[in-house]
Structure 1
Amino acid sequence: MTPPLFFLRHGETDWNAEGRLQGQKDIDLNALGRQQAAQAGRKLKKILSSRGLDPAALCWQASPLARTRETMFLARKELGLPAEGVVFDARLREFTFGRWEGKTWPEVCAEDPEGAAARDADKWRFRPPGGESYADLTERLRPWLDAQHEPSVVVSHGGVARALMHLIGGLCVERAPTADIFQGRVLVFSAGRFDWI
């Protein structure tokens, strides 16, 4: 059984606001994203307190991309923790959209209509040109998940959250790629289920 994981998606970036596929491009938070990261930190503080968990005693892990790093630091600040003490793990990076990164979905549809249609038909298994699928991401995450033995705070990406919803919560592969993923909230994985708080 996986120990409790307190998951924060990074805050908003300008590319999120513009509807651009970020993947593994290193895009910084915008002003709203920084507010969302702090808000998530405040929610996390209440959740941990309600469960009698000492934030300083938890394992803190994040994707190494700039938007997740800054989200992590801002959330930790809300809990009175220093920037130091975080493990950055490349396995927690978002899946890459390959040559589609930086484009909006309408641009992808115009430039690669066959690829866009194939992705719509099977979002879990479709691999963009030069990119990864949700299935690929899940296989990348599986060893990381198997190594979790203590409660952790994890700051990562929307695709990673969806993959964990499947791996931990059993969300089916048809539903997982379209599951709602929020910024500024905390996704709690515990006892084989997940809940947004």
Structure 2
Amino acid sequence: MSRSMLPLTISHRLFLVRHGETDWNREGRLQGSKDIPLNELGREQAAEAAGRLRSLVQGYDGLDFVASPMERARETMEILRYRLGLPPKAYRIDERLRELTFGTWEGFTWREVRKSEREQALARERDKWSFVPPEGESYRMLAERIRPVLETLTGETVMVSHGGVARAVLALVGAVAPGDAAMVDIWQGKILKVSDGRVSWV
């Protein structure tokens, strides 16, 4: 096993929030690096995540808030912070928390990809963790990108990012085998709590 996939221990609680729904989510389109804004349901899901976080912590002074630079993640974070009574824009952005890039497949649905690039799609189904889409990146590459972010967390953290990032986190902390992590459903509007190697949905 490479160092990048040795189980990582996060000593402080991590509250991981996937951004709310976008129109491309609703249509089943691969977003990846495309900057698609939240839709109305996505904004409601961001507010729902704020309510869930409120039930998990006693106060917000000791929390670090960090988000992906992508618009859908930043909007989710700002709605969440507003609902908590915090200054909406007072949070960190970390470029490494960007979503997994699907390269030339972005904008297409999986049905369209399977029809136009059948062999590539089948190869991905055989190994979702390591498969690299044309001009894109694999979950393995994503995990290597975000591992340093997790290694440098200094306290309880609220992280607003993406489904792919959440799957990589599950693998990095040893909660799910890498090959299985790539297939885990990551819910919008809920919070994935990571604590002492254990994960739970709230």
Aligned residue number for residue 161 of structure 2? 156
Q: Paired residue for 1:29?
A: 38
Quote the residue 2:108 is aligned against: 103
Q: Structure 1, residues 25-68: CA drift from partner, whole Å, max 9, x if none?
A: 0000000000000000111111113xxxx213211000000000
Note the C-alpha offset of 1:168: 1.3
Q: How many angstroms apart in 1 are the aligned matches of 2:71 and 2:56?
A: 25
CA distance in 2, matches of 1:86, 1:110: 42
Q: Structure 2: any 5+ residue segments left out of the alignment?
A: 1-8
Q: Give the residue type in structure 2 aligned to 1:136.
A: M
Give TM-score, length-normalised by structure 1: 0.96
> Normalization by structure 2: what TM-score?
0.93
Distance 1:174 1:144 in 2: 22
Q: Which 4+ runs in 1 deviate beyond 6 A?
A: none
Residue identity over aligned pairs, in percent, reads: 52
Using the alignment, how far apart are the partners of 2:45 and 2:174 within structure 1?
A: 25
**Counterpart selection for 2:27 from 18, 28, 31:** 18
Matches within 5 A, 1:131-150: 131-150=136-155
Distance in structure 2 (CA, Å) of the matches to 1:156 and 1:145: 13
* Distance (whole Å) between structure 1 residues aligned to residue 148 and residue 167 of structure 2: 16
**8 Å CA contact 1:10, 1:37 repeated in 2:** yes
Q: Is the 8 A contact 2:24 2:36 kept in 1?
A: yes
SS at match of 2:88: coil
Partner of residue 93 from structure 2, selected from 78, 88, 99: 88
Deviation at 1:108, TM superposition (A): 0.4
- For structure 1, the residue ranges without an aligned partner over 5 or more in a row are none
User: How much has 1:71 moved relative to structure 2?
Assistant: 0.3
**Structure 2 counterpart SS, 1:61:** strand
> Given that residues 175 and 199 in structure 2 are in contact (C-alpha distance below 8 angstroms), is that contact kept between their aligned partners in structure 1?
no
What are the superposed Cα offsets for residues 117-143 of structure 1, whole Å, 9 maximum, x if unpaired? Answer: 000000000000000000000000111
| Residues 156-165 or 78-87, more deviating | 78-87
RMSD of aligned Cα (Å): 0.9
